Structure formats: C-alpha cells, structure tokens
Amino acid sequence: MATRSKSSQRWLQEHFSDPYVKKAQAEGLRSRAAYKLEELVERDRLLRPGMVVVDLGAAPGGWSQWVRQALGDDGRVIALDILEMPSLAGVEFLHGDFREDAVLSRLEATLGGQAVDLVLSDMAPNKSGMEAVDQPRAMHLAELAMEFADGHLKPGGAFLIKLFQGTGFDDYLRELRRRYARVAIRKPAASRKRSPEVYALAQGKLTVRK
C-alpha cells in the first residue's frame, strides 16, 4: 500500500481538526464553505425575502443550502455545477459545465426571463499545481461569471465571487468597478489563511456602464 505524502497527511489532520468542519457536521451543513458565505452575507446584509439567487459552482451545496435556509420559503435558489450535487429541498439544480453555451442556455431557460437579485460564484478550476495554467483558467471562469451577471442581474443587484490573486486580478477588479457602485475585497474568517482565495463583493449594479 502506498503511503500518503506528508502534505496530504497534513491536509487531513487540518481538515478533521478544523473547527468549521466540526461545526458544519454538527449543524448538518454540507460544507464548511457555508460559514464563509454566512459572514459575507450578514456583514453586508445581502439577503432579503423573495430574492432570486443564482449559485455558480455550487457543489457540494453548502452555499445553496445556507441561502435556502436563510430565505425560508420565499424566493428562488438556482444552483449549477459541473459536478453532480445531491438534491436540496427548495433548490433548483442544473448539472453541467458553465463554460458551455448549451449549459448557459439551460440556466437562462430555468430563469424564464426572471431577473436575478444576487449572483454567487464559488467556481474554481481543477488545480494542476502550475500557476501559469491555473490562474488563467480561474480568471476565465471569473470572466464568464461576470458576463452572466452583466446580462441577468437586475439594476442595484449584487455579485459575490471567489478570486485568486495573480495575473488578471487587478484588471478584473477595474472591470467590476465600472459595473457596480461599490466593490470590496473580503477574506472571511473561514477561509484558510494559506489559501490565495479572496472574495470580491460588488454591490449596486449600474444601469449604464461608465
């Protein structure tokens, strides 16, 4: 039997001793990522009854699960991921690759012309370990998410997206600032400190681009 590498052993040790992992298990949440969203949403009061929320890169469902619970019986939560996701009551799930036009068309058909109040994107590419490959892939997904928000988010709506600092990051923020009244970078407490991920929160979608 092959022995686990020191890095994988360290990851497993950190994972099972992680207080957010333990809390998620105790509270019946699908992932520790729910606590990242909880902090971000509550700090900026992003949710209101009756909202339409689209969750891109949703699997295993931690964000969609938390949003559905927070909204109660009001509004809609539409989740999409390239991975399969076990069903969640009150969440409409689409399985597919967001980079494909056919999948985007299915998402648009599901919305049925309804404008979106909040777009969430926790999408990330499969990591190769080479930044010269991984960062462009991550930024491509981020560009697609921003284009979706451009076309479907209602004026005044909000867009929350995971980004990785590196090539293209500053240009992306400049584009967000052209489109939204307020843009802030957040690093929630539940994000692992060594992770290069941050979250860009863009609020107040402008009706006319500058």
Distance CA 172, CA 149 (A): 14
Residue entry with tokens 């509270």: 27
187 an active-site residue? no
Distance CA 195, CA 187 (A): 10
- Going by the DSSP 8-state scheme, the letter that residue 5 receives in this structure is P
3 state SS of 185? strand
Q: Given 22, 36, 162, 210, which residue is catalytic?
A: 162
Residues of the binding site for S-adenosyl-L-methionine: 61, 63, 81, 97, 122
Query: For residue 124, is it left (φ>0), alpha (ψ between -120 and 50) or beta?
Result: beta
Distance CA 169, CA 180 (A): 17
Close Cβ partners of 35 (under 8 Å, ≥ 6 residues apart): 20, 23, 24, 188, 189, 190
Residues of the binding site: 61, 63, 81, 97, 122
Distance CA 143, CA 192 (A): 24
Joined together, the tokens standing for residue 115 give 């404008």
Active site residues: 162
